[in-house]
Amino acid sequence: MKSGVERVSAYKVISIIVLIVLAVLFLFPLYWIVTGALKTSADILAPRPVWFPTEWTLDNFTRLFDRRSATLFDLYIPFSSLFSSNGEPILLLSGPVVPAAFRWLLNTVFMAVVAMLLTCITAAMAGYALAKKRFRGRAIVFGLIVCAMALPKQVILIPLLKEMALLNLYDKIWAVIFPTVGWPFGVFLMKQFSESIPSEILEAARIDGASEFKTFTTVVLPIIKPGIGALAIFTFINSWNDYFMQLVMLSSNSNYTISLGIATLQAETSIDMGILMAGAALAAAPIIIVFLIFQKYFTQGITMGAVKG
């Protein structure tokens, strides 16, 4: 009996040591990005790795910012391409010229935020309807959603590209946003959360004469709020990191996302590790901070999605 207890604790000690070693290994690439971004070229090119920078410098960021520039933003008159003489949208206002990385970051934030908002709104409504409304064709819609979720999203990217070209959306940030919103995972997740709404409350609201929309905003939304939080953070991170979609849909410097911009720099300057680490740090830092702040919701979203419906 006693030896059994000792063996268990020995196993525990060993497993904790292994876990700590693994944690260090998993954190190392991040450490290497951050220190690499702040190292001098001499430290970076040293044949024996400099584990801790001998001298801190922002030089890599300066060189990254000097490489490419773009206007901070361009505001077009909405739908002006429909009536302008050359079919191009009419430029209303341009921001100041800044290092392109800032424009890329702004594009990425815009993309992720809009995708997140649209996904949350549409998925909350649809998930509620699927869970609580006994409308005709409900089973078919839900079946389609489950099937689509099991299929690899990337397979349809080339047809999507054709479609975007037809819709005149190619090389526009919307071409990345719309398919993200269309991806049915969010609807599935919100259906799981909406199942927990007690039907009696909905019944009571109906008897009180509340309209369907009022019931949704005043009764349903407060109950599924944690679910929406989970979906929001999940969509934000996935959209930020969906490199393949961005690569296929966006082609001009001023429409790049930060991932795409860094990937392009990598193709251009594959030996200048300093610039690349600075770029990687710039691309990863915002999303990691968002993740750390909201990780509780995030965990919840991942686990809820796995519960079979």
Partner 1 sequence: MARQSQPAMSRALQRRENVSGYLFMLPSLIFFAGFVIIPMFICIFLSLTDANMHGSSMFGNFIGFANFVKLFSDKTFLRALWNTFLIVVVSVPTVCIFSLWVSSAIYKMHGAARSFFRIVFYLPVVTGSVAVTVVWKWMYDNYTGIFNYVLKGVGLIDKNINWLGDERFALWCIILILFTTSVGQPIVLYVSALGNVDQSLVEAAQVDGANNFQVFWKIKWPQIMPTTLYILVITTINSFQCFALIQLLTSGGSGTNTVMYYIYFTAFKLTEQAGHFGYANAMGVILALAIAALSALQFRLAKEK
Query: Smaller CB distance to partner 1: residue 84 or 214?
Result: 214
2 binds partner 1 (CB under 8 A): no
231 binds partner 1 (CB under 8 A): no
Interaction mask 60-79, partner 1, x per CB under 8 A? --------------------
CA dihedral 71, 77, 81, 87 (to 10 degrees): -50
244 binds partner 1 (CB under 8 A): yes
Closest approach of partner 1 to the CB of residue 21, in Å: 12
Q: Are 136 and 197 in contact (CB under 8 A)?
A: no
- Residue numbers 195-214 binding partner 1 by CB under 8 A: 212
Q: Are 107 and 255 in contact (CB under 8 A)?
A: yes
Q: Please report, as a single letter, which amino acid is at residue 82.
A: L
Query: Smaller CB distance to partner 1: residue 55 or 93?
Result: 55
Q: At 97, phi and psi to the nearest 5?
A: -80, 125
292 binds partner 1 (CB under 8 A): yes
5 binds partner 1 (CB under 8 A): no
Query: Smaller CB distance to partner 1: residue 83 or 140?
Result: 140
Interface residue with partner 1, options 216, 228, 231, 256 (CB under 8 A): 216
Query: Smaller CB distance to partner 1: residue 116 or 145?
Result: 145
Q: Please tell me the distance from the alpha carbon of residue 244 to that of residue 233, in angstroms, as a whole number.
A: 20
Task: Single out the residue of 16, 65, 70, 63 nearest to residue 41, CA to CA.
Answer: 63
Q: At 94, phi and psi to the nearest 5?
A: -115, 145
How many chain residues interact with partner 1 (CB under 8 A)?
91
Residue whose structure tokens are 């991170």: 237
Question: What is each CA distance from 7 to 18, 21, 90, 292, 300, in whole angstroms?
Answer: 16, 21, 74, 36, 35
Sign of CA dihedral 19, 21, 27, 29: negative
52 binds partner 1 (CB under 8 A): no
- Residue numbers 29-48 binding partner 1 by CB under 8 A: 29-30, 32-33, 36, 44-48
135 binds partner 1 (CB under 8 A): yes
171 binds partner 1 (CB under 8 A): no
SS3 249: helix
Query: Smaller CB distance to partner 1: residue 10 or 23?
Result: 23
